[in-house]
Structure formats: structure tokens, C-alpha cells
Structure 1
């Protein structure tokens, strides 16, 4: 092996050096300790000896694409130790062209041994958050057998609307914020679990007293959410729960200040609540409810247009009409 590469083996992180065909030329002591393979056992084997199917093919594709262009690459692998245990590692691989030969130096850091926290791949983290928030939402509204379909439609249409609105107005919203809105939208009506069924599913008009009880459900929902948040006490859901709180509390506020529970007006209403408000009303109008028949799409859009600038954010209505 090229002598000039040997100083890399002195690093405290795990180090592997391979040739252009990814055959192992040398490893350091940390690599031996983590993987359970001694240097003598592993020299000459291809680096893929540790490979598992838990690392996506797209990760390997991007790695090979970069290295073939003699570019450095960084990513996360899920590999297998000699004893069969899995280990998650952040790796940086750097190509070196020396005297006409190409070498790759890989520096690993075992994520399980970080001093604080736990590593979860971004896609998996997002999936876990979405699934758990959906379970929480359905659990809070289990009395209604059709609620899962409504929640799923609201979530899907929220995703379409937020992406379209962000693109149309060039808002520059971060993908994390967008995903938080989509995930949290499914929680919008969890407070209805505290409303008596006789009021919630009443086929006729509500009395003034019943209306007051219905209009308490955002406050009930926030109380439920804060109890969940206190039990979790973890950054894992922090962004989603903050956004969910805004949606739960304010998705019945109206642009002109005539909504509830706090009569917020215009841009004082959180953006995520204004988005979900439009979607929720549209889905309610185009679905069968105990107190109404299904409206067709054009009638529902007409209602949104009629209340554009009074009930709803005018710019969001413009975007919504485009996508439906």
C-alpha cells in the first residue's frame, strides 16, 4: 500500500483503505474493535463484506457515482459486525490518485456510540412521526367510523396545497416545515373527543348552548396535545407538536376575525392553520355529514370563493382552486 496513506490509520475513528476495486488494503485498530474483524482476517476482501440490505441501493449508487468521478462522498451505512450485530455509521470516503493509482480512504464514526442522542435516518424518522400522529388522531376520534378517511383526505390535500402555494408564491418554506404541517394536519380535530356525541352528530341545528360546547373543541384539543407533549418531553416530535398546536387551536379562526376561539384576524392566524382551514372545510362540504348532504365540487368551490377574504386567506383560496 502507498506509504503516504498510512498516517490516516492513526485517526481515532475507524479507518479503511481500499484500492480502486474496493479491496481492503489496510484498516486501523478502531476498525478492528468495532467490526470484530482483525486486520489479518479482512485484508484482501472487498469492502462490501460488511454490507447489509438495510442500506438502500440508492445510497450505494450515489457513492459509486461520486467516487468514479474522483469526488469525495459522505453518507450513512447500516453494516453488520462479525458477530452479526448491526451498526450504523457515518462515513466519509475520499479518493486519492497517487502515481497513477487510485485509493479510497474511508473514515467511519459509529453512530450508536455518540455521546448523546440516537441516530435515525431522516426517511425513517419522518415515517415514524407520521404514523404515530395518525394513530393519536384516530384514537382521539374513534367514535366516528368514517374519521380515518376524512383525516387521510385532509392530510393528502394539505400536502398538495402547501407544496403548490409555496411554489406559486415562492415562499421559500423549508421542507422540514412543510412536512411538519402535513404530518400535523391529521391532528386538527382531536379536541372533538371531548364533545358529547349527541351534540357532535346532531342532525339538526345546534342551540346556542350546544354551539358554545362545539366551539370549545380547539381548546380541548390543545389540552390533549400538551398532555402528550409533557409525557414525551423529547425533541423527536417538537416541531410537529408545535405546528399541530397552531393547527388545532386556530383552524376555525376566520380571516375577518369572526372565527373561534380567539377571534384572530388575517395574518395573526398561523399560516399552517389557514392552510388546514381551507382543506378541512372543503372536505366537510364534499362529504356526507349527519347534518348535511354531499355537495358537488363546484358548489364547494363556489362557497370557498364566496368567503374568500372573509373566512379564508384570499391567496390560499387562489392556490386551492388551481389544484382542485
Structure 2
């Protein structure tokens, strides 16, 4: 007797039929038996799991169709191929059998050659399917690992750039945290209300959240005497300060070029857009390019609201910190001139979240 690696479950309410099939298959496979539907379902999930089931159709109580339907409804047994066995003189609905999940039919009285051929064929198909499932699982694990590596690379890249910005900016790290949370809340609300749903996917909103801390990275290129000046800037100084938008975008573009094909760099697109355009205004009076309306990328329009709100509620050398209600009033006054009207409307809907973020990450 050869070593049996595959297990065949024979299900029949007639012991003689079980004996005939067992004698036929036992030299090639390990054969286990069940005399009714309930027992078959138990054996299918027992310690010795079948690789294939030969299932009688006409059985008292639970018939073969019901047993097959039950097997296919459970994840642990759904992949086991089922071959129906039925007498030639029995009227059997073959279409029904295939619909409930059977892969084949064998008629009684059985032909040994046909039984062996069908069992061999369907076990080979099952083996191939199992191997494919294993390969797919392995591929899925590799994809998840690669995705995690890319995400970590993105996070490290953004963190490094943001840390560089923090070292020179006279604004606090909490400003960076608050604005990124504001941006995410605004983006989620707009998506939930049907705005820009093609762009504001959960994945892109996460990229917006991660990219927001880089909005003022260009300030690393502003001279200390202007960047760190404890008083209000002169007009000439402010003209120099405004160049931080272009400087930031160029710095991110250089980072993209250096990363090149070594890593997917599209995640920096939002960072580049935000850095360059978050000082543009809806009516075209902003900088650096004087864009109007939706000419300004959505990412930068979101940041404009988040950044201005946080500047209003924060203390600066030229102004005290405003209360939320005053900051809200200023944003409403800028609706349709400074800010995208739809984003201001989103701000109004989520203003309580803004208040909570400001409190949670307030400056010391």
C-alpha cells in the first residue's frame, strides 16, 4: 500500500456503497466515511480534513444538495471539491447540483476507471488551486511589506524636511501639528459632503495630512534678520519673506529629483503644491502667482484656511492671540475673496473640531 497524502470523504447512507468506493480508492488515498449529511459536515471540519468529497445525492434527512450548500457556505470547507454520486435511475437535477457548488457527477453503478479518473483530476485541480492560493498569499504579504516600507520612507522624508523647517521657523512645532489636523478635518468634511470625492479619497487625505507640515519649509531660505525679526516687517522685508513659497516648492522638487525612481515620489506632490500656493487667494490677490479660484490646487486652498485660522488664534509679535469667534468672523469675511467659499463653509461645519484641536495642541 502506498503512502496516502490525500484524503477522500465518502458520504452515503448505504454501507455497501461506502465499502465499494473505499475498496476502490484505499490504495491511492486515505478514505474516511460518513453515513449521513450531519456526520459528513462534522467530518469535513474534523481532525482529518478531506481534500475531496464523494457525496451521495439521495439520502434520508439531509440530502446531498443541502450538505453541499452547507459546505460551500463556510470558509473552512468552501474550497473542498464535491463530486455527487447518484444512481442512473434517479431523477437528479444536475443544474441544481452545479449551482450549489458540486464540481462533477458520477453515476451508479460506478465504473472504477471513471471514479479513479474523476477523483485524480479534481484532486490535481485542488492541489493547483491550493498552490495558487499560497502564492497569492505570499504575494499579498510581499505587497504589504513593500507598501509599509514605502510608507515609512514617505514618513521619514516628510519628517526630515519638517524638522528642518522647525529649526529655523520662529513659529512653534504645535502650529505645524494644529494645521495638519485642521487640513484633515476640512478634507474629510468636504469628502463627506460630496466635494472633490475623486481627489479627497482616504489615501489622499492621509497624504494631505502628512504633507501639511511642509507648508512653510521655504522659510529655511529666508535671512535670519527677517525671519526672526521681533517686530513687524517692512514692505521690502515682506517682499523677501514672500519668496519662501517658491523656495519651499523648489526644495521639495529637489527632494523629488534626488529620490527619483528609488521610491514613488508622488506623495510629495501635495507638499509641493501646499508650499508654493498656500498664500494664493480666491480673488487673485495672493502670491506668488496671483492665481484665482480653482486655479489654486485644492491642497493649497485647504491649507490657506487652516494656516490663517491658526495664525489668527496665535500670538504674534505684531498682534495678540484672537478668540475663536473673532477668527471665525475674519474667515467668514474672507469667504469668496481670500478663501474658497466651499472650504469656509466646511470650516463652519467643523468649527468645534478646530476648537478642540487648538486646545489639545495649544502652545505652552
What TM bracket, shorter-length normalisation? 0.5 to 0.7
Structure 2 contact 72–79 (Cα < 8 Å) conserved = no
Distance in 2 (CA, whole Å) between partners of 1:144 and 1:151 is: 11
> CA, structure 1 residues 155+128, in 2 after alignment: closer, same or farther (shift >3 Å)?
farther
Look up the SS of the partner of 1:298 in the other structure. Answer: helix
Structure 1 contact 94–105 (Cα < 8 Å) conserved = no
Match of 1:98 in 2: 82
Match of 1:141 in 2: 166
Look up the SS of the partner of 1:198 in the other structure. Answer: helix
More strand by share: 1
Distance in 2 (CA, whole Å) between partners of 1:302 and 1:229 is: 39
Structure 2 contact 302–343 (Cα < 8 Å) conserved = yes
For the pair 1:108 / 2:108, whether they are aligned, the reply is no
For the pair 1:215 / 2:242, whether they are aligned, the reply is yes
* Segment drifting more, 275-284 vs 288-297: 288-297
More helix by share: 2
Structure 1 contact 141–192 (Cα < 8 Å) conserved = no
Structure 1 contact 201–291 (Cα < 8 Å) conserved = no
For the pair 1:152 / 2:177, whether they are aligned, the reply is yes
Consecutive unaligned residues in structure 1, runs of 5 or more: 5-18, 27-66, 73-92
- CA positional deviation for 1:269: 0.5
Match of 1:293 in 2: 320
Distance in 2 (CA, whole Å) between partners of 1:236 and 1:229 is: 9
Distance in 2 (CA, whole Å) between partners of 1:171 and 1:257 is: 21
- CA positional deviation for 1:135: 3.0
Match of 2:269 in 1: 242
- CA positional deviation for 1:214: 0.7
Consecutive unaligned residues in structure 2, runs of 5 or more: 1-5, 10-43, 52-70, 85-125, 352-364
Max radius of gyration: which structure?
Answer: 2
Look up the SS of the partner of 2:192 in the other structure. Answer: helix
Structure 2 contact 50–80 (Cα < 8 Å) conserved = no
Distance in 2 (CA, whole Å) between partners of 1:247 and 1:177 is: 14
For the pair 1:162 / 2:187, whether they are aligned, the reply is yes
Task: Provide Cα deviations, 1:121-163, integer angstroms capped at 9, x if missing partner.
Answer: 6566445523531332122331347532111111111111100
- CA positional deviation for 1:219: 0.9
- CA positional deviation for 1:165: 1.1
What TM-score do the two structures reach when normalised by structure 1? 0.66
> Alpha carbon RMSD of aligned pairs, Å?
3.4
Match of 2:74 in 1: 70
Distance in 2 (CA, whole Å) between partners of 1:287 and 1:68 is: 62
Distance in 2 (CA, whole Å) between partners of 1:133 and 1:174 is: 20
What TM-score do the two structures reach when normalised by structure 2? 0.59
Distance in 1 (CA, whole Å) between partners of 2:213 and 2:327 is: 21
Structure 1 contact 252–259 (Cα < 8 Å) conserved = yes
